[in-house]
Structure 1
Amino acid sequence: MNAVPAAAGDTPRQRASRKEIFGWAMFDFANQAFTLLIITVVFGELFTTVIVGDRGDGYRLANLLWSLALAVSYLMVVVTGPLCGAVMDYHAAKKRFLFVSYLATVGATAMLYFVEPGFVVLGLLLIVVSNYAYSMGESFIAAFLPDLGPPEDMGKISGFGWSLGYVGGLFAAGFTLLVLGEATEDNFERIRWVGPFAAGFFLVAAIPTFLWVKERGTPQPPGKSYHQIAWERVATTLHELRHFRDLGIFLVSLLFSMAGVYIIIAFAFIYGAQVIGWDEAIRNIMFIIVQITAAAGALGFGFIQDRIGTKLTYLLTLALWVAAIFAIWATPEVTAFLNVRLGLEWEAQHLFLVVGCLAGLSLGSSQSASRAWWDSSRRPARRPSSSVSGGWPTSSPVSSALSAWGCCRRWLACRPPSCCAPHCSSSQS
């Protein structure tokens, strides 16, 4: 990394109190109820299979609309994120911005209760609003990480947050899957409560964050408009990136790698239902496996990162993801091959459980490693300004938007029944 002279008055960061670190990590614990229950596990499947449903096209329209809603929400983050980040830093108002995004996520998520079969437009609007607010909150909470400890602790602190998040997801989604049941039309009156439950879980579990995490920074004197603040931030970013070329390379890597990760997050359980054809028991087991292995990956690789370095750890997590994605794609074919060669009678869903272990480990480790690498770069001796430091939160929604738009184009390109089975039609799997 190219060294930049330290600014006057820079002092080594001290580790925050355990209570403050725990309060910060509780936001990860809380918001996993949204990303898992709404985006990954329950509502995504409910939206595609029940609210929109199979209209004789193998769920092509349903998958297209789901991808489009996610793409729009992430593009909104890309457009407004830099402005909000600039204003937030200028006024030293991270907690206020975080609180607004938190309330917006909770409110829009709770209203998903009113989305009934056929209420497609309402469902799309609420997903766009809730996922936009959630994604902005992810950016805002990440901005607190550099204040919580020195660079040598970034891996452990980030890993602790992610691992606690997966524990929260295990509690939230475990309750939903066991108590509310399957995302089916017959069970709709029970499963529609997934929105209010996710909102309530997020609302209560995030309270320690706002009680214990401190607002640091000094507000700048008034006199500039939001437009001026945003443009000055863009100009500063372009200027300072010349001194941080390695961070620019990292952002490009993050852009493409996280695009693949977000496809897995948004469509893993939809893929399991439409392509693998798993039953409810296997789906529940898969969820538990992914949460446990993701928590272990986030925490374990956090310690590994602080020992072997951020770059090598990040590259290892990308290698894990390549193996995991290939295994996900090849599951049906590998199952058939093993059955023929070894005389087994396995179903694809059984082998998919093994693949889930690798995917969970990859998920937890890569997200923790990328966040910690970015924030460890903000050490006092060679710290980019807040404008450059906003690259990780901005790059993530760009990746998400690209992945969702790629899925949109995939669904548009498919023309049943001639499109490639089984990826577009559950009936062909």
Structure 2
Amino acid sequence: MTASPLQGHGRRNDELVGTANKPRQVISWGLWDAGNSSFHALIVTFVFAVYLVNTVGENITGPFAASTWLAWSMAVGGIIIAVLAPVTGQRSDATGRRKRTLAFLTIGTVVCMFGMFFVRNSDAPFTVNLGFTEFQVEFYYFWLGLILLALAAAFSELANVPYYAMLRQVSRPESIGRISGFAWSLGYFGGIFLLLFSFFGFISGDGETRGFFGLSTDEGFNVRMVVIMAAVWFAVLAVPLFLTIPELPPDPRAPKRASIKQSYAKVFRDVKTLYREDRRTVLFLLAQGVFRDGLSGVFAFGAILAVTVYGITESDVLLFGAAANIVAGIGAVSAGFFDDKFGPKAVIATGLTAMIAAGVVLLFAEGPMMFWIFGLVLTFWVGPIQSASRTFLVRLTPPGLEGQMFGLYLMVGRAVSFLTPALFGLFVWLFAGDRYGILGIILVLAAGLALLLAVKKPDQLGVGVAR
């Protein structure tokens, strides 16, 4: 296999590859992942979004429910991500501002999270005090929450572009799998710690005060303090990365002041070149978009299936979620060794095969015990597959183009993110039962596996290892 037709930035590979003797950088890079987990675990999945819909938006009037508005706001955030991700990566690569871009997007996420503290459970309009005057705005807390959540989701997801691109900077070809898996596992373990700490510290119990800290529930104060804790957690854990990992030099051939239009034009030219001369990378980008959408479906619909099909009580769903994240983290860190030894394609293919088999068993299984066993088998492989996906792309990418390629990585994922929800809903409707939604997840995972098997393994390319 010849080198990719896309040329890097005229930089030597050793300028872009980290040294094996810098564990500080590896740990710092992984801590950012652990910090970012606060947004996904506490804001999007378990705490703030639930509070926003079920409490703040409880009395929303009009033709659309609060949950519908939430889904639409997140869809708008997804469109922003799909549009901006490729050009964000391309510009950060060319200008040598990868770390600066990550800092801006991290700060944007944290600021939005702090802003969520002001989303009260109240029907009153805002009162804005400018120091010299005070006035009311006919703009209510639910809408503020939606805007902040959509913006934070866009900032957080776009931040993954320069963050993933740094993987080559903190690793060598022989250790990239272990380092990626280590960081991914820190994200899972960080999320678990935050979930348990927020539940017992701020949320558990009944009455007007909750949790170990005895916080008031008035206007959602205890939940809003969870958001503050999550924002502080992310801000603190993000700092070491910016202190230990150096910025890349700019591309000496790139325009000094490239416009947004020029940046988009370069992305489109490179995509056309990829399709014409290096379809392996294009096929992998499509494959990962499909199977990662299936992985998302496992977590998105797992709690629903646990309660409606397998008899898991609602109070035990959080317990299963904690266990699922723990095994996914263990899977990610352990599979990193196999990634380095056998290559990322072997890890992804093995994981997808195991998940499809577990899904088939669950399609016919009954009872909580079977769900616990095979549900955890499913979630065990989510971490390894996600981690190996980014190492696969790094091994395919010429030095200096990591940001642009991970921008395309996220864009393709967003473009096909309708597959699992659509097929899940279709099979539930066709067979009149939630159980049959599993067929939709299985089909998406199988389609991703079929596409992956058609992709040749990464070769040396001066980048990765021959596997």
TM-score by length of 1: 0.80
Distance 1:260 1:89, change over 3 A: same
**Aligned residue in 2 for 1:375:** 394
Q: Secondary structure at the match of 2:256?
A: coil
Q: Deviations over 1:133-163 (max 9, x none)?
A: 0001111200111222232221111111101
**Aligned residue in 1 for 2:130:** none
Indicate if the aligned counterparts of 1:95 and 1:210 stay in contact, CA closer than 8 A: yes
Amino acid at match of 1:46: Y
Q: Deviations over 1:256-314 (max 9, x none)?
A: 11122233444545665777775565234223312221111111111111111221211
Matched, 1:180 2:202: yes
Indicate if the aligned counterparts of 2:113 and 2:227 stay in contact, CA closer than 8 A: yes
Matched, 1:292 2:311: no
Residue 199 of structure 1 deviates from its aligned partner by: 0.9
**Aligned residue in 2 for 1:357:** 376
1:181-330 equivalence runs, <5 A: 181=203, 188-219=220-251, 220=254, 222-266=256-300, 268-269=302-303, 278-279=312-313, 281-325=315-359, 330=363
In 2, the alpha carbon distance for the partners of 1:86 and 1:233 equals 7
Q: Deviations over 1:158-193 (max 9, x none)?
A: 111101221211221221122222699986442332
Matched, 1:39 2:71: no
Indicate if the aligned counterparts of 1:139 and 1:393 stay in contact, CA closer than 8 A: yes
Matched, 1:334 2:368: no
Residue 321 of structure 1 deviates from its aligned partner by: 3.3
Correspondence for 1:120 among 113, 129, 142 = 142
Correspondence for 1:70 among 74, 81, 84 = 74
**Aligned residue in 2 for 1:111:** 115
1:379-394 equivalence runs, <5 A: 383=398, 386=401, 390-394=404-408
In 1, the alpha carbon distance for the partners of 2:100 and 2:205 equals 36
In 2, the alpha carbon distance for the partners of 1:413 and 1:279 equals 24
Moved more, 367-376 or 81-90: 81-90
Give percent identity, aligned residues only.
25
Distance 1:69 1:182, change over 3 A: farther
Distance 1:323 1:32, change over 3 A: farther
Residue 88 of structure 1 deviates from its aligned partner by: 1.1
Indicate if the aligned counterparts of 2:327 and 2:380 stay in contact, CA closer than 8 A: yes
Indicate if the aligned counterparts of 1:166 and 1:291 stay in contact, CA closer than 8 A: yes
Distance 1:75 1:273, change over 3 A: farther
> Which segments of 5 or more consecutive residues in structure 1 lack a partner in the other structure?
337-347, 424-429
Indicate if the aligned counterparts of 2:294 and 2:420 stay in contact, CA closer than 8 A: no
1:393-408 equivalence runs, <5 A: 393-400=407-414, 402-403=416-417, 407=421
Indicate if the aligned counterparts of 2:89 and 2:407 stay in contact, CA closer than 8 A: no
**Aligned residue in 1 for 2:35:** 30
Q: Deviations over 1:358-397 (max 9, x none)?
A: 233122111101011111223xxxx27627x633443335
Indicate if the aligned counterparts of 2:345 and 2:392 stay in contact, CA closer than 8 A: yes
Indicate if the aligned counterparts of 2:180 and 2:336 stay in contact, CA closer than 8 A: yes
**Aligned residue in 2 for 1:339:** none
In 2, the alpha carbon distance for the partners of 1:299 and 1:159 equals 4
In 1, the alpha carbon distance for the partners of 2:13 and 2:42 equals 42
In 2, the alpha carbon distance for the partners of 1:367 and 1:384 equals 21
Q: Secondary structure at the match of 2:175?
A: helix
In 1, the alpha carbon distance for the partners of 2:339 and 2:69 equals 39
Residue 49 of structure 1 deviates from its aligned partner by: 3.3
In 2, the alpha carbon distance for the partners of 1:136 and 1:197 equals 22
Count of aligned residue pairs for this structure pair? 398
Residue 212 of structure 1 deviates from its aligned partner by: 0.8
In 1, the alpha carbon distance for the partners of 2:339 and 2:316 equals 33
In 2, the alpha carbon distance for the partners of 1:236 and 1:121 equals 39
TM-score by length of 2: 0.74
Matched, 1:138 2:157: no
**Aligned residue in 2 for 1:21:** 26
Amino acid at match of 2:72: L
Q: Deviations over 1:322-358 (max 9, x none)?
A: 3455566x4xx7335xxxxxxxxxxx4x554334422
In 1, the alpha carbon distance for the partners of 2:191 and 2:164 equals 19
Distance 1:276 1:121, change over 3 A: farther
**Aligned residue in 1 for 2:135:** none
Q: Secondary structure at the match of 1:390?
A: helix
Q: Secondary structure at the match of 1:152?
A: coil
Higher relative contact order, chain-length normalized (CA < 8 Å, sep 6+): 1
Indicate if the aligned counterparts of 2:93 and 2:404 stay in contact, CA closer than 8 A: no
Distance 1:396 1:322, change over 3 A: farther
